[in-house]
Amino acid sequence: MKSIDQVHLKNLHPDLKTLSILSRICQPQTILLLGFFSILLFIPNFAFAEVFVPLHEYLGYFDSNGIYTVVGNVKNENDFAVIPTITVSVIDGSETISKTIKHVPLAVGSEIPFKIKFPEIRSNTPVLVNPELTFEKTIKDAIPIQVLYDKTLIKHDDGHITGKIQNTGNQTIYYPKLFAVVHGYDRVLDIVQNIEFIEKIEPGEILDFTMYPDPAITDDVFYYSCFGPVDTSVVPISVEKNEGKFDLRYDSPGTFFYDAKYNEQGTNLTIRSTNSYPFPTYANFEFPPISGNEKFSVTINGKPIDFIQSMDQMGYWHVAFDVEPQSQGILEISGFDKGLPPDMPLVPIWIKQSGDWWSTGQIIDSEFLEGIKFLVDTQIIEIPTLEPSSQSDWKIPPWTKTVVGWWNEEQISDDEFLIIIKNLIEREIIVV
């Protein structure tokens, strides 16, 4: 296997907007026409200020397993990043079923798809209600991943697409995904993502991607557009655990996980899975740590499977594994600590560990400064006027080991440490 400064939640009144598909929905260079002329259409959107869901990219259909599926695309045209929350409702006979997703951060001028499954739907004629949308202001830079628009970008006869992506930034990006809108001749059909599990992509690196539509609509695929990268898992699940709520997320193209439950002790998570795709794919689960020392094991239908356990730069666990084609089963992930996670620290665990090693002489200056640069890049330390420098110019005076030692011994708090480091960077005593 291949492997915030948040503000008050705004409740805004919806209005309808008019736009052109090519001038507003996607930049011209992101449309894969596949030999057909573009047609300009003026279509109303479901909007909140400048965060909106275009109604022509919001639809429901029955997938190849007969599960009612709703897909859509959130666009952010504000001059600030947002965290959108989308509520989707479906009328099924006399009952209205609603589900809510608090999505991942959405940078300025970018978009992010969503897909929600409704296995509860029983009728053949459900009615999809316009989405409800709210958002929080946040900080998020655009993800520097680009699709290469050259002869490697190919739409195949069976409806799937292959191509290459490149990291055009100067930082490693972990767990990236690429989404796209799938079009038929006269309408949007689906939202899809790459089926390859990518643990990271280095600056300048080029990797392959493959996307498949749901088998139910394969024969109707005409072209793909609005390619958008994401660097965070996107399907949230909230599960009862030890008399509280445990929030986790997963990322899995083609596979739907549902009916999640913890055992009485809160140590084992079981969840049903269905992969409708006729090819293998992957799943990547993300959990907040409880102790940070968890050792997981994974089974499907009671049989142990190979998996990768890792911790990301923000201190969250990831458990990733392959999923067999057109498979169903019971996934069980064991090894959780009892209880609920504490509040995640302001500074990721790995940076504090790196500080301990540096203050005791176990790693060199540049290795510790990687962590300080991460704090600046992710705006945990906000220095808007900082000029970028090459790693060869980085510097940190030896006496700052005393400050880092105080921090590791908890003589000063995370907030106090960040204020000190921010001051030293602004005075150019520390250079990153």
Q: Does the pLDDT at position 399 exceed 60?
A: yes
d(CA 338, CA 267): 6
Which sign, positive or negative, has the C-alpha torsion 97, 253, 102, 249? positive
Q: What is the mean pLDDT of residues 319-328?
A: 93
Which residues does residue 340 pair with via DSSP β-bridges, in sequence order? none
- Give residue 20's pLDDT: 26
Residue intervals in the chain for CATH 2.60.220? 235-334
- Give residue 52's pLDDT: 92
- 414-426 and 365-377 helices cross at what angle (nearest 10)? 100
Cα separations in angstroms, 208 against 128, 153, 165, 167, 221: 35, 10, 6, 12, 21
- Give residue 103's pLDDT: 83
Give Cα 218 distance to the centre of its chain.
Answer: 25
Per-position b or e across 53-76, b if 16+ CB within 10 A of its CB: bbbbbbbbeebbbebbbbbbbbbb
d(CA 73, CA 254): 17
Please give the backbone phi and psi of residue 99, each rounded to the nearest 5 degrees, phi first: -135, 145
Q: Does the pLDDT at position 390 exceed 50?
A: yes
Structural tokens at position 342:
């504490």
Reduced DSSP (H G I as helix, E B as strand, rest coil) percent helix, strand, coil of the chain, to 5: 15, 40, 45
Q: What is the mean pLDDT of residues 340-363?
A: 84
Q: Helix, strand, or coil here: 189?
A: strand
Q: Does the pLDDT at position 46 exceed 70?
A: no
pLDDT digits (tens, 9 = 90+) for 102-157: 888 888 888 888 889 998 999 999 999 999 999 988 877 788 999 999 999 999 99
Give Cα 47 distance to the centre of its chain.
Answer: 22
Q: Does the pLDDT at position 264 exceed 50?
A: yes
Calculate the average pLDDT of the chain. Answer: 83
Element (H, E) at 161: strand 161-167
Q: What is the mean pLDDT of residues 254-259?
A: 89
- Give residue 49's pLDDT: 56
Say which residue the tokens 């709703």 belong to.
70
Q: Does the pLDDT at position 13 exceed 50?
A: no
- Hey, how many other C-beta atoms are within 10 angstroms of the C-beta on 231? 17
DSSP 343: P
Question: E strands, 175-280, where?
Answer: 177-183, 188-193, 200-201, 206-211, 223-230, 235-241, 244-251, 255-262, 268-275
* Length of the chain (residues): 432
Q: What is the mean pLDDT of residues 380-399?
A: 79
- Give residue 254's pLDDT: 84
- Reported as a pLDDT band with limits 50, 70 and 90, residue 388 is low
The two beta strands, 145-147 and 51-54, are unpaired
- Find out whether 178 and 165 touch, Cβ atoms under 8 Å: yes
- Reported as a pLDDT band with limits 50, 70 and 90, residue 375 is confident
d(CA 85, CA 416): 32
Structural tokens at position 418:
């960040």
pLDDT digits (tens, 9 = 90+) for 156-180: 999 999 999 999 988 888 889 999 9
Q: What is the mean pLDDT of residues 359-369?
A: 88
Return the closest-CA partner of residue 196 out of 272, 279, 274: 279
pTM tops 0.85, yes or no: no
Asked if the 235-334 domain carries CATH number 2.60.220, the reply is: yes
- Reported as a pLDDT band with limits 50, 70 and 90, residue 9 is very low
- Give residue 242's pLDDT: 93
